A and B are shown apart, each in its own frame.
Chain A
Amino acid sequence: MDNKNLPQEEYKYGFHDEDVSVYNTGKGLSEEIVRLISAKKQEPEWMLELRLKAYRQFVKMDTPQWGPDIKNIDFDDYTYYIKPSEQQEKSWDDVPETIKDTFDKLGIPEAEKKFLAGVSTQYESEVVYHNMLQEVEEKGVIFLDTDSALKYHPELFKKFFGTIVPYTDNKFAALNTAVWSGGSFIYVPKGVKLDKPLQSYFRINSERMGQFERTLIIVDEGADVHYVEGCTAPIYSKDSLHAAVVEIFVHKNAKCRYSTVQNWSSNILNLVTKRAICYEHATMEWIDGNIGSQITMKYPACILAGEYARGMTVSIAVAGKNQIQDAGAKMIHLAPHTYSNIISKSVSRNGGKVNYRGTVRHGKNAAYAKSKVECDTLILDKLSTSDTVPTNIMENATSQIEHEATVSKISEDQLFYLMSRGLTKEAATEMIVMGFLEPFTRELPMEYAVELNQLLKLDMSGSIG
């Protein structure tokens, strides 16, 4: 589609680049390509330098030697930068039937389907989107795609970017820093509380779904924001390597909730680094759902750096045929009286593998810190497996970590009970699974919860032997 036809006011939000030329770096990655990406984006020198350093680090570093086996990723087989206008040339015909089918069953409108499938960059929710923007803009909130934020808010950007997920953190953080594109940038000024969630879903920008998106959220003192990323409907992408980085800064007395349900198509390696830092009396909540993709490695982290800071992660991981969901949470307590809570619910079926991998560390200074970890796994058949790999580290004498873990299958007694009221075995199983995941779904905004329920139901059908 022709960007020139977009409403003029779009420019001031920077939702698309002025340069509409088709651009594709081709397969593989080199210093040259990193320079090209930066040049195409007309970035300041410091960002180019950072990208190059990150690239060198990426080349030097090994892939993680733990967790799912990803040692054989051929990094030369991926394309690292495609301009949005080219992405649009993907055709609806290329979208797999299974995905189209799911869209149909979910009753998603035609325009939205194409948007979700990455075939179109725009669908008809501009009005909703603009209303939302107007409302938050009046309060001084900045809500932009990350590229535009670098352009229009360079000082703020530079102050925070890459400070809690440095490019040296891990190979995929290095990769992301070298080639990042798109993502969301949010700044909520002091004392501003947003009662409605900000949703990236309405961000009309194809780069939102980029392979290497970079999200930066800064919640200033006493502010409160709920950010909802993506949507629960399956997202199809031809690009099969996704390495996103999310950095969140929650200042004194502030609160941030980040909700996401990842449902990439089954060809995707989803390797994400998500980290938040919480200062005094700040609260960070990750609501994190993992349903799609072939391999997921994702462990949202909270660094509780200020006294009385609180971190919470409520997550689900659902692994089906040929899927490995390696997910969990990290809570790093660095200050006294900090509190963290992890609730993880995992389901594996049809031979899927689902792991909980989590770390809770109470540092020397985290006197009187408390943590509660609860991870439950439901395994639906004999083909499916699960591991629970918790790491709890306590470096002081006054803190407490509570850890509970259960692994179960669907109980025959429960099944008989539900079936004795007329539910088929499929419906009864589905109901037990949905009930198992309820601690997660209840945290989602209503429309997401409804969509997720529907989606999981579709997902379940045919999974009972």
Chain B
Amino acid sequence: MAQLEIRNLHVEVEGKEILKGLNLDVDPNEVHALMGPNGNGKSTLLAAIMGNPKFTVTQGSITFEGKNVLEMSVDERSRAGLFLGMQYPQEVAGVTNSDFMRAAINARLDKPMPLFKFIKEMESTIKELQMKPDLAHRFLNEGFSGGEKKRNEIVQMKLLKPTLAMLDEIDSGLDVDALKIVAEAIVNMQKERSMGLIVVSHYERFYQLIQPTHAHVLVDGKIVVSGDASLVKRIDSEGYDWIEKEYGVKVEEISDEKPKTAVFSLGSCAASTKKGA
């Protein structure tokens, strides 16, 4: 049995079926590249594994280290060793990165980590990602550039030390230098801890740095082709057209998933009453 085992997974968003019977196995030390045109279910798969309440699993199973993931709450999945580096990390005003990370680390320990040890660990991780030292004291992602948010996701991953990490377009918003720094941090951690990885990216350059051991193409809610790193290269040079021909599936981009901006304020009012929604 694989460490992460997904069988016949069907997932709906707002009543619309996005994943239509997906199977996937991921073991430690494996790096899986997840490809496919936009809107075919890559982000949905990662969100469903992490338990985002907007995504409803209607059929199938997900197990992680033999445990039924679908029965776990989001925080339980995190504490079990799953991590999702998000495409659009949320901003939370008034909560510092360090307070957040400390709470997150302590949530998985019996005894809280000594403060000094935590500070040292956070500082060295921030340094490794070549971010400014004041990151720890800034509010969580608030006012961060796109690239800073992505790097901060990797800071979090390094501090939380997951068994299996999923990275959703973690390379978008990064310039060439930042891309290298982030990729190096990911690879180091993956090697050190024999971590399993599922990576969603549109860029061959990022995959070159990450060096996937497995590659999959997700079309219309199913994995239609699986292979090794050479699959990434072929898609980079030839696109998805050949898949249509060879596998007889229609490959099309389904309306781009719009970034969900951090909607904290639902509305503004003068003298009106808004009751809890």
| Chain A interfacial positions (CB closer than 8 Å to B) | 376-377, 379-390, 403-409, 411-414, 416-425, 427-428, 431-432, 434-439
Contact = CB atoms under 8 A, between A and B. Distances in A.
A413 B262 CA distance: 8
B107 A439 contact: no
A387 B273 contact: yes
Contact of A418 (B92, B108, B139, B269): B92
Nearest to A376: B265
Interface string B80-97: 000110100110111100
Interface stretch (B49-57, B60-68, B120-128, B197-205): B49-57
B276 A383 contact: yes
A402 to B, nearest CB: 13
B93 A420 contact: no
Contacts of B78: 419-422
Nearest to A377: B274
B236 interface: no
Contacts of B75: 419-420, 422-425, 428
A424 B107 CA distance: 8
B255 to A, nearest CB: 20
Contact of A411 (B262, B274, B276): B262
A379 B77 CA distance: 28
B156 to A, nearest CB: 6
Name which of A382, A411, A420, A424 has the most chain B CB atoms within 10 A of its CB. Answer: A420
Contacts, number: 138
Contact of A423 (B107, B265, B269, B270): B107
A322 to B, nearest CB: 17
A96 B92 CA distance: 37
A314 to B, nearest CB: 13
User: Which of B78, B263, B271, B274: most chain A Cβ within 10 A?
Assistant: B274
A436 B92 CA distance: 9
A409 B266 contact: yes
Given A386-B273, A414-B90, A439-B94, A421 B160 contact: yes
29 contacts: A377-B274, A379-B274, A386-B273, A387-B271, A388-B272, A389-B271, A390-B270, A409-B266, A409-B276, A411-B90, A411-B263, A411-B264, A413-B90, A413-B260, A414-B262, A414-B264, A419-B78, A420-B75, A420-B77, A420-B78, A422-B75, A422-B79, A425-B73, A432-B92, A434-B95, A435-B93, A436-B94, A437-B94, A438-B94
Nearest to B261: A413
Interface of B: 50-54, 73-75, 77-79, 83-84, 86, 89-90, 92-95, 99-101, 103-104, 107-108, 139-140, 156, 160, 260, 262-277
Nearest to A406: B265
Given A389-B271, A421-B156, A422-B107, A380 B276 contact: yes
Contacts of A418: 90, 92, 100
Given A382-B276, A420-B84, 10 more contacts: A376-B265, A377-B274, A388-B271, A409-B276, A414-B92, A416-B52, A420-B78, A421-B160, A432-B95, A435-B93
Contacts of A407: 265-269, 274
A290 to B, nearest CB: 19
Given A420-B84, A427-B103, A405 B92 contact: no
Contacts of B103: 423, 427, 431
A272 to B, nearest CB: 24
B203 to A, nearest CB: 24
